[in-house]
């Protein structure tokens, strides 16, 4: 067994787990934060995306012990003061979800994408960067619209809106 200590959504947490425990299972089963989903066993679907030290990562590809000492943000840590994060609000406004299973990973990926591009996002880039997130419901169109809309809201300089 290994001791894992990390900060999750601003809170210091720790727990024992087997060395082989994946970060996503630590988050879901030890911490009870079930907003982070598991949609595959091949590291393809992106339902498990969280932020580790500010960058999006597929939490099914990282051992919990590898995340020890890191600051992790999950979908539960995104909203603040009772308000949805602008990306969450944009997904809601633009109908960027149906069953919602992929949505936590989509949103976490989108937040990182918007942060990294600093407002300079276009539809082609959004579609390219969403390659690692699979949605079986929406056809992606409204997800792309939501990301571009949130980008504009957060940076005020989006050059394009998805048709």
Residue 137 or residue 161: which is nearer to ligand FES going by CB? 137
- Residue 107 CA to residue 158 CA, distance in Å, equals 18
Task: State the minimum distance, in angstroms, from the CB of residue 27 to ligand FES.
Answer: 12
Closest alpha carbon to 9 in 48, 39, 50, 49 = 50
Residues 89-148 that bind ligand FES (CB under 6 A): 97-103, 135-138
Residue 87 or residue 97: which is nearer to ligand FES going by CB? 97
Binding mask 17-56 for ligand FES (x = CB under 6 A): ---------------------xxx--xxxxxx--------
DSSP state of 106: H
Site residue total, ligand FES (CB under 6 A): 22
Angle 141-155/103-117 helices, nearest 10 degrees?
40
- Residue 72 CA to residue 6 CA, distance in Å, equals 7
Residue 100 or residue 118: which is nearer to ligand FES going by CB? 100
Bridge partners (DSSP) listed for residue 73 = 51
Residues that bind ligand FES (CB under 6 A): 38-40, 43-48, 58, 60, 97-103, 135-138
């Amino acid at each position: 067994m290994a001791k894992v200590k990390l900060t999750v959504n601003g809170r210091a947490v720790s727990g024992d787990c087997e060395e082989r425990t994946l970060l996503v299972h630590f988050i879901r089963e030890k911490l009870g934060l079930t907003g982070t989903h598991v949609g595959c066993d091949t590291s393809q679907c992106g339902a498990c995306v969280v932020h580790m030290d500010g960058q999006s990562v597929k939490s099914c590809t990282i051992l919990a012990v590898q995340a020890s000492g890191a600051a992790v943000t999950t979908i539960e840590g995104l909203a603040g003061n009772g308000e949805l994060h602008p990306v969450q609000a944009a997904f809601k406004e633009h109908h960027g979800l149906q069953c919602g299973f992929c949505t936590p990973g989509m949103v976490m990926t989108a937040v990182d994408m918007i942060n990294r591009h600093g407002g300079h996002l276009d539809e082609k880039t959004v579609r390219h960067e969403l390659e690692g997130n699979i949605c079986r419901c929406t056809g992606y169109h409204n997800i792309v619209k939501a990301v571009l809309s949130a980008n504009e809201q957060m940076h005020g300089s989006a050059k394009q809106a998805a048709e």
